[in-house]
């Protein structure tokens, strides 16, 4: 039990076994044996050394078995490091454990209102799925979603911004104990307001579309999640009304200002709904690139803030200094401060 927590702490800090062994002043072989479960009752001095090296409270290593966590879905570039992926998953696992402990202490969190689909006839059916999710979120069929994070939280999903920059990773989602009262989690690596909104919508798509069905390929899963994100943020009827010809960057900027969806996403949405052809789409993308807007678009979308996890931390952490509150939830102070906002 302690060994798996040592591994989680190490991966959460993006450390190799060799690096942690050096920081903690133990041999790599001993650390390997500990993580593999070949050492079941390590000396308390060793636990304290690992805790000091990773900034985890000592109490964290004595909490017992970690919660099970499915593999989950990542939104990341192909070049993304597996080490960063393990770090994302390790940090989300801490959040899952914290939320489970808070519910054991009778903290009332919103009921999970999402209903994953079991079948999908074709990608166009995602438009209907997104409309059903909009109803679950309490959003009108054609209305902008002013604060997507809060809407998703009210539907029982925990949204968190990860405490450190995750290179080439935008988001991650997982639904632990699906069907057994588990609560889905969406984790985001902080970017611009519109990028974060798209990432949340994309990961929500994975939760709804892929919790009870397997897409044919990973690429198919990403295409479906992308289509869902577009349909959720800019529903079909609203898009048909807002994206009128001639479809220019200025038109798409106006859509962004109203719906909080990026210019790039709006161009893709126009293509998906056959409002423009592929040549027109490629032309818009080239214009975005020429202006340097593929990295930073005009029309600012305000960043959103997660409230649900802050509520959990407030209850579990109580009063006192940052270090004291982090100690009570068995979490590194940096992680506590980031999650609390």
Strand partners, 301: none
* The predicted structure's pLDDT at residue 77: 59
DSSP string, 36-83: TTS-SS--HHHHHHHHHHHT--GGGGGS-SPPP----EEEE-TT--HH
Instruction: Kindly report the number of other CB atoms within 10 A of residue 193's CB atom.
Output: 17
271-278 — which CB contacts under 8 Å span 24+ positions? 272/227, 272/230, 273/236, 273/239, 273/240, 273/243, 275/239, 275/240, 275/243, 275/245, 275/247, 276/247
* The predicted structure's pLDDT at residue 170: 87
Say how far apart CA 182 and CA 196 lie, in whole Å: 24
DSSP state of 125: G
Cβ distance 317 to 333 under 8 Å?
A: no
Burial class (CB in 10 A: 0-12, 13-18, 19+), 135: exposed
Cβ distance 123 to 227 under 8 Å?
A: yes
User: Distance between alpha carbon 21 and the CA centroid of its chain, in Å?
Assistant: 30
Among residues 208, 258, 279, 197, which one has the least CA distance to residue 230?
A: 197
Say how far apart CA 96 and CA 21 lie, in whole Å: 27
Say how far apart CA 229 and CA 114 lie, in whole Å: 15
Strand partners, 173: 73, 186
* Tens-level pLDDT at each residue, the chain (341 residues): 899 999 999 999 999 999 999 999 999 999 999 999 999 999 999 999 999 999 999 999 999 999 999 988 887 756 667 888 899 999 999 999 999 999 888 889 999 999 999 999 999 999 999 999 999 999 999 999 999 999 999 999 999 998 767 776 789 999 998 877 899 999 998 889 999 999 999 999 999 999 999 998 989 999 999 999 999 999 999 999 999 999 999 999 999 999 999 999 999 999 999 999 999 999 999 999 999 999 899 999 999 999 999 999 999 999 999 999 999 999 999 999 989 87
Specify the CATH class of 1-66 in words.
mainly alpha
Cβ distance 198 to 209 under 8 Å?
A: no
- Give kind and range of the element (H or E) at residue 159: strand 158-161
DSSP state of 172: E
Domain with CATH 1.10.260.40 in the chain: 1-66
| Full strand arrangement of the beta sheet holding 185-188 | 73-76, 169-174, 185-188, 158-161
């Amino acid at each position: 039990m302690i060994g798996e927590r040592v591994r989680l702490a190490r991966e959460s800090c993006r450390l190799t076994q060799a690096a942690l062994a050096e920081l903690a002043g133990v041999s790599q072989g001993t650390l390997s044996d500990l993580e593999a479960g070949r050492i079941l009752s390590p000396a308390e001095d060793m636990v304290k050394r690992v805790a000091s090296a990773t900034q985890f409270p000592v109490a964290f290593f004595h909490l017992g078995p970690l919660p099970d966590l499915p593999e989950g879905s990542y939104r990341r570039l192909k070049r993304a490091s597996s080490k960063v992926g393990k770090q994302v998953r390790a940090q989300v696992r801490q959040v899952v454990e914290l939320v489970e402990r808070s519910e054991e202490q009778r903290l009332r969190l919103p009921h999970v209102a999402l209903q994953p689909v079991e079948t999908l006839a074709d990608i166009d059916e995602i438009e209907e799925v997104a409309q059903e999710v909009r109803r679950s979120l309490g959003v009108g069929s054609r209305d902008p979603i002013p604060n997507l994070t809060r809407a998703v939280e009210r539907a029982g999903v925990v949204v968190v911004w990860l405490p450190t920059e995750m290179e080439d990773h935008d988001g991650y989602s997982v639904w632990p104990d699906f069907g057994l009262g588990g609560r889905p989690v969406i984790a985001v690596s902080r970017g611009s307001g519109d990028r974060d909104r798209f990432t949340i919508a994309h990961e929500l798509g994975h939760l709804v579309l892929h919790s009870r069905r397997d897409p044919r390929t990973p690429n198919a899963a990403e295409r479906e999640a992308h289509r869902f994100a577009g349909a959720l943020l800019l529903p079909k009827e609203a898009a048909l009304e807002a994206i009128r010809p001639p479809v220019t960057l200025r038109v798409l900027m106006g859509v962004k200002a109203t719906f909080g969806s990026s210019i790039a996403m709006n161009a893709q949405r126009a293509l998906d709904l056959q409002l423009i052809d592929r040549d027109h789409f490629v032309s818009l993308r080239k214009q975005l690139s020429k202006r340097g807007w593929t990295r930073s678009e005009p029309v600012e979308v305000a960043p959103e803030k997660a409230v649900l996890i802050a509520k959990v931390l407030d209850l579990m952490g109580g009063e006192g200094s940052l270090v004291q509150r982090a100690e009570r939830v068995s979490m590194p102070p940096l992680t506590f401060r980031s999650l609390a906002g």
